[in-house]
Amino acid sequence: MTQRLLIRRAGLADVTALWAIEKASFPSPWSRWSFLAELGHGNSHTLVAGPSPPHPWQTWGYIIFWVVLDEMHILNLAVHPEHRRRGLARRLLAEGLDQARTLGAELAWLEVRPSNLSALALYESFGFKTVGRRPRYYDDTQEDALLLTLDWSEAGNNSGEGEERPA
């Protein structure tokens, strides 16, 4: 059965689910306290995705980003392994980008592992371009990070998002 997707702002009740997705998604996961700190930070925005009512809430994925002046910095984007390959990351990224633009962002940027090919493909589909490299950025493997940016003045209205679909 296909369920509709709801994206909403995260709250304290979501921290345990966020942390579980984080641990299942990354070799060096953020701590539970990192999520709590983001929820309390004035520039930080955490969005969660899950089933629309009347279905009981489950957190399937999240995006965390900051908006400072005219810049969006995407800190984290993850989808629970059981819910991947359904367009959830695409929908979360599109919603995050839309909210950041509404808040005045003109440029978005993020760091990503060069080995994370699925994430790179997603970001490139939205118009992100590689503009730099941060050597030995990731402590766990000493892997470099690619620095990607999306400048809306150059990208036009490309949101990478097609028609709304069920999750």
| Catalytic residue set | 111, 123
Residues 6+ apart with CB under 8 A from 132: 146, 147
Alpha carbon distance 165, 25 (integer Å) = 24
Amino acid at 139: D
The 3-state secondary structure of 81-122, one letter per residue: HHHCCCCHHHHHHHHHHHHHHHCCCCEEEEEECCCCHHHHHH
Alpha carbon distance 47, 69 (integer Å) = 20
DSSP code for 29: P
